[in-house]
Amino acid sequence: MRNAEIDGTAEIAVFAAGSLRGPLTQAARDFEQVHPGTRITLTFGASGLLRDRIAGGEKADIFASANMAHPQSLAETGDWGPTRTFARNALCALARPGLAVTPETLVATMLDPRIKLGTSTPKADPSGDYAFELFEKVERTGTAPAGSARMLAGKALQLTGGPNSPAPPAGRNVYGMLVASGQADVFLTYCTNAVVAIGEEPGLQRIDVPDPVNVSAEYGLAVRTGAQAAAAAFADDLIHGAGQALLRAAGFLGP
């Protein structure tokens, strides 16, 4: 998109998954520097809840979701353009300090009835959906005995990401807070979130989920039909421009 096409004043409202906060905030500020007169407002949260807010009438020009389904559901109304993949993520486990757990023992640790297992809230937050998909893979791949998926789903504490979940203190990573405060011994979240959490709470452990049971999180982006040219330009920047470098630097994988 040529600069001339987006010269002048433009206000872009972006709704984005909370896991994108760091790189998207920087991408927005960089874009505003390159395109004077453009102002980007950012609203972060659980993708499912953001999708409901948009469907309920709140104004957004760009929707950057931690899954493909939520923006695709908006496109079905005709008010949004096609959903494009712009990043991927994987699941990691955050573990409390001192817990004896490795990638090889992670599943057994999660199944231990003494362990408090935390996830985000399925349907409202894709992170929760991916965690419950992991539970199914644990059993399907033979990594754990029959009935393990039901057991994990039954004991999972859906501690964040839901419509009634308590908000974390401002400026603090919710996943690190939940584990550091003892509300969960192990919390399944995106690997990018785990990095941020350990930066705030250095005593926490990041445990990589073994490849056979891990789940690939595909992030989708859509632009509202009729949005200003600047919105399409910023979306392109995130998909195959300077924004991609910021996403990679934050630990996201390419689309």
pLDDT value at position 167? 80
**CA 165 to CA 154: how far, in whole Å?**
18
Mark residue 72 as left, alpha or beta (left: phi above 0; alpha: psi -120 to 50; beta: remaining): alpha
Tens place of pLDDT for every residue, the chain, 255 residues? 444 456 568 999 999 999 999 999 999 999 999 999 999 999 999 999 999 999 999 999 999 999 999 999 998 888 999 999 999 999 999 999 999 999 999 999 999 999 999 999 999 999 999 999 999 999 999 999 999 999 999 999 999 999 999 887 777 899 999 999 999 999 999 999 999 999 999 999 999 999 999 999 999 999 999 999 999 999 999 999 999 999 999 999 998
Which is nearest to 82 in space by CA: 242, 247, 254, 239? Answer: 239
Q: Which residues contact 242 (CB under 8 A, 6 or more apart)?
A: 27, 30, 31
pLDDT value at position 1? 40
pLDDT value at position 2? 40
Whole-model pTM: value is 0.93
Q: Render the burial of 147-174: b for 16+ CB within 10 Å, e for the rest.
A: ebbebbeeebebbbbbeebeeeeeeebb
Contact 106, 93 (CB under 8 A): yes
* DSSP-derived 3-state class of residue 45: strand
pLDDT value at position 3? 43
Domains and CATH numbers, the chain: 3-87+216-249 (3.40.190.10), 90-213 (3.40.190.10)
pLDDT value at position 179? 97
